Amino acid sequence: MKRLSMFAAVIGLSMACAAWADAPVIVTYESAGANAAAITATRDAFRSAVGGGTAAGANGSFGGLRREINWDGVPSTSSDPNPLAGNFFNANSPRGVVLSTPGTGFLVSANAGGATPVLFGFPNDFQPFSAQKLFTAVNSNITDVRFFIPGTATAASTSAFGLIFVDVEVAGATHLDFFDMSDTLIWSHDAAVAGNQGLSFLGATVSGSSIGRVRITSGLNTIVSNGAVGNPNDDVVVMDDFLYAEPLQVTAVPEPSTMALTAFGLLGLVAARRRLSARPGA
């Protein structure tokens, strides 16, 4: 089993090489299996690539390099059957993401022991990666994620995003799309099929571009409310942990003339340092 999951992690690592010099380089991390152990190696490899360690600080910050949302600390007042506000993770717990959907809102699943059934009422289809709570859009299979300097209205970008899907049973119906700061699609990838109640990790790191928006498409079906889906046929998929690089302020791309001046200035500095170090006693 361990060997199998390691194999899945290794084949899950693929690199989309740049066809020309300015194209972004995007490295995909993916795996799927029956339980948390089957995808943990891939999740850990993604964590290592993004940086920031394994001990969470305040607001899901890992060393100022990475943020994570596992939904498990969301209070019952914002959990099923109560809606989760799309800005919960920039206002209540400022982690720098704001969620939107063409549907009617979001739900985080309830903990055991309350009046509301756990796992959105589907204990034979879903399981958590991190216990106990899961996340879903309501009346839609689309969740858009936008990035902000945490706790502010200042738009930001990120260089990596990944998440765990739950119960992916049909190929091609669950995927991630990354858009750059101009809202141009830079990457699209299907989640690996995990089978009933299984877990799928999908994520990617980006260099040479920035992620301004992530569109998550989770199956063909929808969660309508606890125990109710949009139709009896299509694959329903929900989500657990989100992982992403620390949102960074968007900086203007320097004009070529500015870059030339900067390079000229750096050359001047190097020449000055050389002159200085050539002086006796410097």
Check residue 225 for interaction with Ca ion (CB under 5 A).
no
The span of 4-12, 153-161, 236-244, 263-271 binding Ca ion (CB under 5 A) equals 236-244
- Residue ranges in 75-114 that form contacts with Ca ion under rule CB under 5 A: none
Spacing of C-alpha 16 from chain mean position? 19
Q: Binding Ca ion by CB under 5 A: which of 35, 93, 116, 130?
A: 130
**196 forms part of the interface with Ca ion (CB under 5 A):** yes
Q: Which is nearer to Ca ion, 132 or 225 (CB)?
A: 132
Distance CA 136, CA 172 (A): 19
Element (H or E) spanning 66, and its range?
Answer: strand 66-69
Question: Can you say how many angstroms the Cα of residue 249 is from the centroid of all Cα atoms in its chain?
Answer: 18
Q: Which is nearer to Ca ion, 72 or 144 (CB)?
A: 72
Reported in sequence order, the residue ranges of 105-218 that DSSP labels E, i.e. its strands, are 105-108, 135-138, 142-148, 155-157, 160-166, 175-179, 185-190, 199-207, 213-217
Distances (CA, A) of 137 to 66, 239, 241, 270: 24, 9, 14, 54
Site for Ca ion in 6-35 (CB under 5 A): none
Minimum CB distance to Ca ion, residue 234 (Å): 9
Burial call 186-224: b when 16+ CB within 10 Å, e when fewer? bbebbbbbbeebbbbbbbbbbeebbbbbbebbbbbbbbe
Residue 43 makes contact with Ca ion by CB under 5 A: no
Contact range with Ca ion by CB under 5 A, out of 41-49, 106-114, 133-141, 184-192: 133-141
Could you tell me the smallest distance in angstroms from the CB atom of residue 147 to Ca ion? 21
Pick from 44, 72, 144, 234 the residue near Ca ion by CB under 5 A.
Answer: 72
CB nearer Ca ion, residue 80 or residue 167: 167
- Is residue 169 a contact residue for Ca ion (CB under 5 A)? yes
Pull the structure tokens for residue 281: 């006693």
Site residues (vs Ca ion, CB under 5 A) = 70-72, 125, 128, 130, 133, 167, 169, 196, 235-236, 240
